[in-house]
């Protein structure tokens, strides 16, 4: 089978896949599974994979979504459009004072269970645990009032000032902006909340007081 049946292009938003003209779905699926199981450097847990919109019928898209989800990746069918800059007011017109937009926070009053995903452009407060197999992806910071054992990605839009806080931080993987930290084989017993943040281009975890 041709290696070019599935082509991978890296973007700031994730990975964009394209397919050889006339390729059959079963061949495409087999090629993707082969790449995933071979440990390809492209497919890192927590990465978002994009498929061209309308490339496959709904049932086939669902098959691909489940395949990527089993390997810890997110699946979308279009790349988000970049935000256009706000035009400046004309010099002859006095601009009106615009109040500062208050940073919003999504509040989730439940445990995030295996297979569930929380995604928001703002910060997120989770009043519960994040179980293994669950994913939390936020444009801002993540605050977990419980135990974190899933995959957490703060500053997903590139915000390297975002932080991740949890009463007990034991994630499969931590991501802040474009940096990734994997969990150790064994966790030290810590009796207080911890915070993960970027310092000197590294993700650093340290105990804090709430």
CB-CB contact of 176 with 158 (8 Å): no
Q: Is the CB of residue 161 less than 8 Å from the CB of residue 139?
A: no
Q: What is the pLDDT of residue 84?
A: 58
Domain edges within the chain: 3-76, 105-207
Q: Which of 27, 34, 15 is nearest to 56 (CA)?
A: 27
Question: Which fold, 3-76?
Answer: Transcription Regulator spoIIAA (3.30.750)
CATH number corresponding to 105-207:
2.160.20.70
pLDDT tens-digit readout, 72-102: 777 777 655 555 566 665 555 554 544 444 4
Average pLDDT, the chain: 81
Q: What percent of the chain has pLDDT over 90?
A: 40
Condensed to tens digits (0 to 9), the pLDDT of residues 128-142 reads: 999 999 999 999 999
What is the rounded distance in angstroms from the CA atom of residue 196 to the CA atom of residue 205? 4
CA angle 50, 114, 149 (to 5 degrees): 100
pLDDT in tens, 161-210: 999 999 998 888 899 999 998 766 555 566 789 999 999 999 998 998 87
Q: What is the pLDDT of residue 196?
A: 92
Instruction: Determine the distance from the C-alpha atom of residue 153 to the mean position of all C-alpha atoms in its chain, rounded to a whole number.
Output: 5
- Please tell me the pTM assigned to this model: 0.52
* pLDDT over 70 (residue 143): yes
């Amino acid at each position: 089978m041709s290696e070019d049946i599935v082509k991978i292009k890296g973007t700031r938003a994730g990975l964009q896949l394209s397919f050889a003209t006339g390729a059959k779905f079963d061949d495409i699926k087999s090629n993707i599974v082969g790449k995933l199981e071979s440990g390809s450097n492209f497919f890192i847990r927590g990465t978002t994979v994009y498929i061209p919109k309308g490339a496959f019928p709904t049932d086939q898209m669902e098959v691909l979504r489940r395949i990527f989800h089993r390997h810890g990746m997110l699946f979308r069918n279009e790349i988000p459009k970049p935000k256009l800059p706000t035009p400046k007011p004309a010099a002859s017109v006095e601009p009106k004072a615009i109040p500062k937009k208050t940073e919003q926070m999504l509040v989730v009053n439940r445990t995030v269970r295996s297979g569930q995903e929380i995604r928001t452009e703002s910060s997120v407060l989770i009043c519960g645990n994040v179980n293994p197999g669950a994913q939390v992806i936020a444009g801002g910071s993540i605050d977990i009032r419980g135990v974190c054992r899933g995959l957490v990605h703060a500053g997903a839009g590139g915000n390297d000032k975002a932080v991740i806080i949890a009463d007990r931080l034991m994630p499969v993987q931590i991501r802040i902006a474009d940096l990734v930290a994997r969990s150790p084989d064994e966790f030290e017993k810590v009796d207080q909340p911890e915070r993960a943040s970027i310092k000197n281009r590294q993700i650093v975890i340290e105990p804090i007081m709430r």
